Chains A and B, each alone.
Chain A
Amino acid sequence: MQVERRTLLRKLVCSLRGRMRMKTVTIKQLLSFSVLAFVVSILPAKSYAELPVPAHITPPVGEHESPIVPQPIEFPHDRHVNDMKINCMYCHTYARRSKVAGIPPTSKCMGCHKVIATDKPRIQQLTEYWEKGESPKWLKVHDVPDYVHFTHEKHIRKFVFDEKFPVEDVQQVCGLCHGEVRGMTVAEKKKPLNMGFCQRCHEANGGPGDCWACHK
């Protein structure tokens, strides 16, 4: 799968917006951003090798085109996942324990960012939240209706732990429903997460077909 140019462009714009919010942008920087943006737009797109699908899973079928959700901080998933090789479950630590994967607590972000990249505007924005004693108000991207009881814990157990699938490759499993997060900044919804999508996967992988398994 290829990472689209627009992802790179968006990263540029995101970083510009971050700086504008911090009021640290100068005319000179603005100009150089435009030039950079132009250069990026004519460059051939950067590409990743497509994530392999774990052998024991028949992947669910379905695509979804998502609008980009403007988050309070343009959190770069790609930087953390792809460049730093941080495991999904390091931050979304509740995924293996609970029905929700959880947004990492601000204290977890600050665990690293007290010392790392403190000069970056987005980190300064984060530090500002931390010092005020507030958490950023993120906007939900992946959600199912209240009458659907989806649980991360059962899916992780079945597809990762029961199969002795290497935890370091867990993004191959997460990606089946969440798309290639390593190529995104803020999370985007890439799969429809509707009943047809779930049902087809349940049929292909031997998940429960009983209404009451999900609708309680």
Chain B
Amino acid sequence: MSVKVNRRKFLKMLGWGGAGTALTGCDLPTTVTLEEGKEEVVSYLMPEEYAIPGIGVWYASTCTQCEAGCGLHGRVREGRVLKVEGNPDSPVNHGKSCMMGQSTVQSHYNPDRITSPMMRKGSTLQSVSWDEAMSALTSKIGPDSGVKGDRVGMITGTVSGHQAVIIDELLAQVGSKNHYVHEVINTSVWSSVCRDMLGDEMPKLNYDKAGVILSFGADFLGTWISPVHNMGEYAKFRKGARGSLIQVEPKMTLTGGNADLWIPAKPGTEGALALGIANFIIERGWNAVDVPSSIAKTLNQYTLTAVEKVTGVPVNKIKRIASMLTERAPSLVIAGASTENHENGYDAVASVMLLNLIMGNIGKTIEASAKFPEKALRAKQGNTKDLLLLAKALKDNKLDVLFTYNTNPAFTAPAVLQVSEGLSSVGFKVAFSMFPDETTLQADLVLPIHSGMEDWGTHVPAYQPDTSSVLSLQQPLMEPIHKETRGFGDIMLSMLKLRNKNFGDFPDYYSYLQTAVANMPADVTGSVEGASKDIWSNVLQKGIVKAKASANALTPKLVDMKFKVKHDNSGYPMHLVPSARLGLWDGRHANIPWLQEFPDQIAKVVWGSWAELHPKKASELGVKNGDYVRVTSASGSIEAQVYIHKGIHPDAVSVPMGQGHDEFGRYAKGRGVNPLKILNPLMERRTGELATHATRVKVTNAHKHEKLVHLGGSETQVGRKFVKTISVDQLRRTEGEA
């Protein structure tokens, strides 16, 4: 006899079975209770009055996961930091934080932290005591070592506040000017154009006052300048009279995904498109500010048809953008990585800025920023020019001692620059590092530093979004987890003491900071409540010092623009877009499992690399999702799985930055590929930045397939109308809207 079980019956059985299991499960002591006597519980010896086990205490600090300088509050319970949130008093992030900030705890508690100093003995790094490490440091770079001048160098990420001051001081003592400040994700070209055309490197952008934002590749919701701040402003921009967002970029970013109009111009021609829009606006007489005839003459050649030919953007779209800019004035026009990082990037950004000038946006949506009064504390922003300079210095054998801190040039430098090979020519390399990354493992002396949640510091954000400028204090949220790590400031201070007796008054970096902050001039600390002796404790409590800022005005002026860049690109028909995303960033967060797990905002891929291709290109190559392709430039090649997506220019292939680590701990090592490695050594011509988006490649089918691991499963509804849609025309007809 056969028993017929249909779907309905099966589900019914499953339901009863499940309920039965659940009810008996409630009383099963072996499965739901914990065994007695297996875990330790240690009481306080002498508790502080405010420390109640089980109840969190919040301390103010500063996020160090990117350079934006967001204020944080960290929840500490039983001496452990458990969770961070944004500091509501910080004008940078107004109490919000992003996924990178949230995952600070996984950087702090990471099992791959370096826990003791290491010194190179023979070919391997071996654990040594701090005494041994410090005496090696003293003998190699102390006053009696004979090391001085420009043969000493230091490469760091963006630094500001008192860390920048002590780095300057150390290099000044040694007599070196070689402080290389390196970030792959930067806004150097934008800053240069703003400096030259507006007189302010980092002008304040009023997203909320704009009726329309035209962004040329500026992923301001993801990776541009100060993402968390931008997100808040973007929300205001979309509320009320809803502003429109137009995004021009070769590969859809998080910002592009949010845009009302997304336009993939041919990579590298964004400047021409901006000039085409400007020309059309002037032809129609829509410009708010008069244009000098010399500029108008240059613009004349950028006719609609000519621009369509160069950029691939249809004439009607150019017209539409121009009319939107006019009708919904004031507008805000910005430019980011995919526009900046070409050989003519400066000119392209300058033509973008020209749109702001002629539309009269200066003083409305773009204003002078508040500058922090103490110049020495202002941010030194990272760039790729310094990476090229370092590569050259290494190649020419110009360095005897190199310090590395908060940056990983052996990972981020294109292979053709031979930075890894060049490092071996440096006699003594000292790495201040938390993790065994590619650069750290090449060092001769590795000094394990505290995590951002264990260390002291001050940060002055490069982008100051308020009318007063801000200094954000970083204070430890808990005692160091590992006994053998030290604060970056503490190590620097002990090196400074070797040469300068003045620093002898400070037993540690904490006391140095305390003295420095409490003694700052009144225009800095004037806003801090309380008498002068209470300044330090008030700053500790709030985490923020709002300083008076001098009132500046922007001084708009025009610059020359030249566009001609000619290369023989035969054999390399495609453009490589090394894309960045909020999450893994430039690869510095690849060792954080939460961020690996977090799907890419567009491709939804987790834990790996992929090559994004347009469906047209994919069918040309005969590849489908998950097939491997080989991306080859003149400088090397990488292999990655294909992700097919309409949000990319048909002539572009995008491989995200972040993966492809040879080292860097268990979560990052040996995962995916690093597109930066195959970049050609092309330079932006005016600023000397690395033109990261200018490399041409060819893409070939590697005839391999694996399942692409990504969320979402299917890209279509397979005709099942889960989400119903209706065209605007039909809506108007049926809903009776005029």
Contact = CB atoms under 8 A, between A and B. Distances in A.
Interface string A164-206: 0000000000000000000000000100111111010000000
A193 B33 CA distance: 7
B36 A196 contact: no
Contact of B45 (A99, A107, A141): A107
Contacts of B52: 94, 97-98, 102
B44 A105 contact: yes
A192 B27 contact: yes
B37 A106 contact: no
Interface string B34-77: 10111111111111000011110000000000000000000000
B97 to A, nearest CB: 20
Contacts of A139: 36-41
B45 A135 contact: yes
Given A138-B40, A139-B41, A98 B34 contact: no
A199 B26 contact: yes
Interface in B312-332: none
Contacts, number: 102
B36 A145 contact: no
B29 interface: yes
Main secondary structure of the interface of B (DSSP, over half): loop
A145 B43 contact: no
Given A69-B36, A194-B33, A98 B43 contact: no
Given A66-B36, A102-B53, A140 B41 contact: yes
A64 interface: yes
Give the most central of A66, A140, A192, A197: most B CB within 10 Å.
A140
Given A189-B36, A194-B28, A195-B26, A94 B42 contact: no
B29 A64 contact: yes
A125 to B, nearest CB: 15
Task: Classify chain B: how many residues form its interface, as a range.
Answer: 20 to 34
A106 B32 contact: no
Nearest to A62: B27
Contacts of A141: 36-37
A190 to B, nearest CB: 11
A44 interface: no
A194 B41 contact: no
A70 interface: yes
Interface string A104-141: 11110000000000000000000000100111111111
A75 B562 CA distance: 84
Interface string A131-169: 001111111111111000001000000000000000000
A86 interface: no
Interface string A45-61: 00000000000000000
Contacts of A69: 36-37
Nearest to A104: B43
Contacts of A36: none
A13 B657 CA distance: 66
A86 B29 CA distance: 32
A196 B26 contact: yes
B41 A138 contact: yes
B105 to A, nearest CB: 16
A22 interface: no
A145 to B, nearest CB: 6
A194 B37 CA distance: 17
A98 B26 contact: no
Interface string B1-39: 000000000000000000000000111110011101111
A98 B39 contact: no
A150 to B, nearest CB: 10
Contacts of B42: 103, 135-138
A4 to B, nearest CB: 18
B76 to A, nearest CB: 14
Nearest to B34: A143
A104 to B, nearest CB: 6
Contacts of B25: 195
A128 B26 CA distance: 44
A100 interface: yes
A104 B41 CA distance: 11
5 contacts: A66-B36, A100-B54, A137-B40, A139-B40, A194-B28
Given A69-B37, A97-B52, A97-B55, 9 more contacts: A70-B37, A94-B52, A94-B54, A100-B54, A107-B44, A137-B42, A140-B37, A192-B33, A194-B29
Interface of A: 62, 64, 66-67, 69-70, 94, 97-100, 102-107, 130, 133-145, 151, 189, 192-197, 199
Pairs A-B, 5 closest by C-beta atoms:
A69-B37, A196-B27, A98-B54, A196-B26, A103-B43
